[in-house]
Amino acid sequence: MRIAIGSFVQESQSFSPIKGSWQHFGPNEIVRGQGMLDEAIGTRTEVAGAIAVASQHDVQLVPLLRARASASSGPILREVYESIRDELLARLREAAAEPLDGVLMVMHGAMSAEGYDDATGDTLQRARQIIGPRTPMVATLDLHANITRQMCAAADGLVGYLTFPHIDLYETGLRGMRLLHAAIFGKAQPVTVMVKLPMIVPAENAQTTHGVIHDLLEASRAHLEESGIYDISIFPMQPWMDVPEAGCSVVVVADEARRARAEAIAAQLAGVWWQRKEEHRVTLAPTDRTIAEALASAHKPWVLADSADAPSSGAPGDSTITLAALLNAQPPADCYTNIVDPQAVARMIECGVGSQVTLALGASSGASLYRPIEVTGKVRLISDGDFVHKGEGFRGVTIHRGRTAVLQSGHVHIVVMERACLQWDPELYRSVGLEPTDAQIVIVKSPAGFRAAYSPFAAAIHVLDAPGVCTPNLTALPYTRIPRPMWPFDPLDDWRAEA
Ligand SMILES: [Zn+2]
């Protein structure tokens, strides 16, 4: 049996000042052919999960191409998106020249490009045209996907992460492959049913460890015992996509013959979610006051999330707000933070390790939201910046943040990076000699993904009230294209869930 596997992963943030470009899809971010399988060995990624199923079932995986943006950003530039998509599709066409039994597509689901509000659906739709209506195709997605009618129509099944923080990439790969395998052997005739809710929710309170999403997933587990119900995903869409089909959704993959039952399950889960939507509101901690409290505390480390500047959500990672607050507080104990600023990195490398420098730091993307601040300190360390993810989720995956230098100003240690990167893992600091458990304050630029790795040792965790394109304060953002009415912007008391 031959199954083609391809992957195109990027998360788009409509309000980001930075478009997705070739900078985000450098040589490390695009891997072709066999390299895609080789690099997955020993990791906890979807592709590794797919390989595990393939090896059990005598499946020959035909690797196409894996593209994964180094960080989230605004929508991808049209020529970049079309170029990657077309190469992926050309490889699929080539693979389909010999009989192909199925296709697994590892996607994110909140990817847009110039001219393509739903780039995931566009890619899947074109893949469907190549393989024809009868070859099963399953797509795996991030829990923050924005599900569209086009995606549901193009794929036989959509399978999303069931965890946030995301720690089940591998298991999602297993689920996707098993569904595909069942479809290929004719045991399953899957259809994908969706209920779209007229709401978008902040990422900070959409975790799966507790609260409404956790309870919805618990409830859905019971339905998976029913015959002909193959998979259920809950998608609290990442809220910064200003697109016409935006909204949270519930997806049930079921046998064609059980479509009505699948619709009823999806509507029931969506109804419960709707009733409990107020639970998604976020309480933010005032930045200066929280830093003062942390510095006065007998316990450490306090992990403070500047989620408004989270690169995983599409922010540039160059905010100076928390950095300035830390420096102003003149902490008597070590505090760690990080910022994207390629020019400052170049200056520090030029000056060399051990030298005293004064430089302008931050606001490097040219976004109007922040201003650079002048910092004087000592260059403590220079690194190529690469580190390997050790936490669950992306375990084993190398993160490339470009050249990286550590600047120490008093007790504030600033990791200055050429490129924005995922901030879920303490390796961001450990890889440059900073041990988070030794610090009084550790700043992470992430809404919740960091909790999996940081919660076990954090003395306290707070989400700071800071400005940024990824603020959880959604009503402060300039949406113009999402459907209205939409919660939390409009009163919507009479909405009823229907598939
Ligand atoms: Zn996500």
d(CA 180, CA 193): 17
Residue 108, pLDDT above cutoff 80: yes
Q: What is the pLDDT of residue 368?
A: 67
Task: Assign 103 a pLDDT band (cuts: 50, 70, 90).
Answer: very high
Q: How far is CA 238 from CA 14, 156, 204, 316, in A?
A: 11, 23, 10, 16
Whether omega for the bond prior to residue 165 falls within 30 degrees of 0, making it cis, is yes
CA of 145 to the centre of ligand 1 (A): 7
CA distance linking residue 320 with residue 477, whole number of Å: 20
| Mean pLDDT of all residues belonging to the chain | 95
CA of 156 from ligand 1 middle (Å) equals 22
pLDDT tens digits for 300-317?
999 999 999 999 888 999
**Rounded average pLDDT over 193-201:** 97
What is the CA(163)–ligand 1 centre distance, in A?
A: 9
The CA 355 to ligand 1 mean position distance, Å, reads 40
Can you tell me the mean pLDDT for 376-404?
94
pLDDT higher than 80, residue 370: yes
pLDDT recorded at residue 262: 97
**2-280 CATH pick, 3.40.50.2300, 3.40.190.10, 1.10.3720.10, 3.30.200.20:** 3.40.50.2300
C-alpha 144 to ligand 1 mean position (Å): 5
How many beta carbons lie within 10 A of that of residue 146, not counting itself? 30
CA–centroid distance, 429 to ligand 1, in Å, is 22
| pTM for this predicted structure | 0.92
Which two tokens mark 315? 């922010």
pLDDT of 30: 97
pLDDT tens sequence across 391-447: 887 899 999 999 999 999 999 999 999 999 999 999 999 999 999 999 999 999 999
In angstroms, the Cα distances linking 49 to 44, 229, 348, 446 are 7, 22, 41, 26
Mean pLDDT, range 230-254, rounded to an integer:
97
Q: How far is the CA of 260 from the centre of ligand 1 (A)?
A: 29
CA of 300 to the centre of ligand 1 (A): 28
CA 197 to ligand 1 center in whole angstroms: 18
Exposed e or buried b per residue across 265-290, where buried means at least 16 C-beta atoms within 10 angstroms of its C-beta: bbbbbbbebbeebeebebebbebeeb
Domain ranges of the chain: 2-280, 285-471
340: Cβ–Cβ under 8 A, 6 or more apart, which residues? 311, 316, 317, 318, 364, 365, 416, 417, 418, 419, 420
